[in-house]
Chains A and B, each alone.
Chain A
Amino acid sequence: MNLLRTVRRPRREKSFLGTVLILGVLIAGVHFFFPFFFSSLLSSLLFPFWTFHKNANETSMGAFSLESRQSLISRVEDLSFKLDQVNLDFQTLHLLELENEELKAALGRSGREKIILAAILSRPPRSPYDTLILDRGSTDGVKKGDIVSIDNHFLVGEIVEVGGSFSKVELFSSPGKETEVQIGKDHIQTIVYGFGAGNFRARLPQDTAIAVGDVVSMTSFDIGVLGFVAKIEGTSADAFRVLYFRTPFNLSQTRMVEIGAPTTPSLIEAESLKDESPFPEGNPESL
């Protein structure tokens, strides 16, 4: 018995395949001449579902907790104590921030641009690419090229596409994305390369004065922190050293971001922000 029979395609199936191929060529043509047409159309169609899912998540958060009452009470007390400590630190940071603003004003630099608060509708790993979908768009004043940040200091990405009521953010850590930065107190300028999941990599000459823990920020004076150097690889025999760092925030736990150029914290603020980072220094690939 011949088990390897070849089955001929029926004529109806061939014509259907032909229709699909023609449709594919048409779609490719439309996309070539109007690159944002399908993205805007499909994102607009999905926007109500994303918003519903976000609102449903926020409403149901904590509703189905399986913890005992006693453990919840002790957790609330513990969190209240930590909140008191954070409030004290915040007051110090706020004073430093005011001082920073006064100094910049004295030097002729204007205050921060208008900041737009946006909720994250979609993020990795739902997205196969390092992108975010936010619930603010052109009607809210969002423009292509706007910088997105968290807590007004930590950089997240850049707006690459704007719809009426949504916008798309490309993370600075997107694989292959190049960003000009300055590192440490000496403001050593270099280009860093994203390689996904909040991780960055850069190559610097062997004798460059950098150390683990140095602040990595964008080159413009008014732009915030990208991360802190976590690891430096290379021996004294190598001509270059490779440094690794990652974003100090956890995007999966972040609900809101700010659109608009953040202010640059002073070095003292940056040091205290590093201490609050949820990630310890170490191998970024193991975080």
Chain B
Amino acid sequence: MMKRVFANLFLFLSVLVFPWYVTVSALVIFIFLFRNFYEAAFFSFLLDVVYSTPGTYFLGVPFILTLASFVFLILASFLKRHLLLRA
């Protein structure tokens, strides 16, 4: 539980201070390390909402980081269930 709290604190700090690729890399790692790490979607949403502008699209898709985090969460859940990788 404490590890997860520290992970969330690190992500909050990372959004404020570190380059975006550090935050995204940490998100991917924590999604696989922790079970049901839905906080990843919140921090991705934070990055999208705070730093993007209205009408910002990546390949025609808005809020690309938030959507990518949801996709990654589902993918990680699938992989962990089927390959015996548990947090």
Contact = CB atoms under 8 A, between A and B. Distances in A.
Given A27-B45, A43-B50, A161-B54, A16 B84 contact: no
A17 B36 CA distance: 9
A129 B81 CA distance: 34
Interface string A30-63: 0100011011001100100110010000000000
Given A4-B83, A7-B81, A42-B46, A160 B17 contact: no
Contacts of B41: 20, 24
A122 interface: yes
B36 to A, nearest CB: 7
B34 interface: no
Contact of A38 (B17, B49, B81, B84): B49
Contacts of A38: 45, 49
Contacts of A43: 50
A24 B44 CA distance: 12
Interface in B7-58: 15-21, 24, 36, 38, 41, 45-47, 49-54, 56
Contact of A49 (B16, B81, B83): B16
Given A13-B36, A20-B41, A128-B47, A46 B16 contact: yes
Given A46-B16, A53-B16, A128-B20, A5 B50 contact: no
Interface range for B: 20 to 34
- Interface of A, secondary structure class, is mixed
Contacts of A128: 20-21, 24, 47, 51-52, 65
Contact of A127 (B24, B45, B51): B51
Interface range for A: 35 or more
A42 B44 CA distance: 13
A125 B47 CA distance: 12
B82 interface: yes
Contacts of A7: 81
Nearest to B81: A7
A126 B83 contact: no
Nearest to A161: B53
Interface in B69-87: 70, 81-84
Contacts of A161: 53-54
Contacts of A35: 54
Contact of A4 (B15, B20, B38, B82): B82
A168 interface: yes
Contacts of A24: 41, 70
Given A128-B47, A129-B52, A20 B38 contact: yes
Interface string A183-199: 00000000000000000
Contact of A125 (B20, B52, B84): B20
A6 B15 CA distance: 36
Given A42-B49, A122-B51, A131-B53, 4 more contacts: A16-B38, A20-B38, A27-B45, A125-B21
20 contacts: A3-B84, A13-B36, A16-B38, A20-B41, A24-B70, A42-B49, A43-B50, A53-B16, A53-B17, A122-B16, A122-B51, A125-B19, A126-B16, A127-B20, A128-B24, A129-B51, A161-B53, A161-B54, A170-B53, A174-B53
